[in-house]
Structure formats: C-alpha cells, structure tokens
C-alpha cells in the first residue's frame, strides 16, 4: 500500500518507467517533505533514500521540518 507521499511518488515513477526524478515545484516539494520554505528540491531515485536540497537560508528550518 502506498501511504506516504514518497511511496506514492515511487509508484508513479515505476508506472512511468522512470528510475529517477527531480522535483522542483515548491508545492510538490512541500507535499513530499513537509518543508514550508520557498526554495528546495527533492531528488528521488530507485533503491536509494530521497535527497532534499535547499540553500543555507533554510538550514535550521530544513533540519526541523524534513525527516531523514
């Protein structure tokens, strides 16, 4: 069952035949991570943990809001 946003994203990636995606739309980044800042990216790939990327303005906020 695909419960978490990341699990749902991975299911859609598999259906589309994608091995990796870069999520740049901040609304989708917020949905995937819980991050409420205005700048960030998520890199998701098969068989590895997703990576959240932002700049130094959001270091503390990202540590508090993004798990993993």
Backbone conformation region of residue 17, classed left if phi is above 0, alpha if psi is from -120 to 50, else beta = left
Q: d(Cα 40, Cα 24) in Å, to the nearest integer?
A: 7
Mean pLDDT of the 42-64 span: 96
The pLDDT tens digits of the residues spanning 6-25 come to 999 999 999 999 999 999 99
pLDDT given at position 68: 75
Contact status, residue 68 vs residue 34, Cβ threshold 8 Å = no
CB 43 within 8 A of CB 50: yes
What is the rounded distance in angstroms from the CA atom of residue 55 to the CA atom of residue 1? 34
Q: Looking at the predicted structure, is the pLDDT value of residue 1 above 60?
A: no
């Amino acid at each position: 069952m695909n419960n978490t946003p990341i699990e749902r994203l991975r299911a859609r990636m598999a259906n589309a035949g994608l091995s990796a995606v870069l999520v740049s739309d901040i609304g989708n980044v917020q949905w995937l991570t819980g991050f409420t800042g205005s700048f960030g990216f998520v890199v998701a790939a098969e068989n590895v943990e997703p990576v959240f990327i932002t700049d130094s303005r959001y270091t503390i906020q990202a540590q508090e809001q993004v798990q993993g």
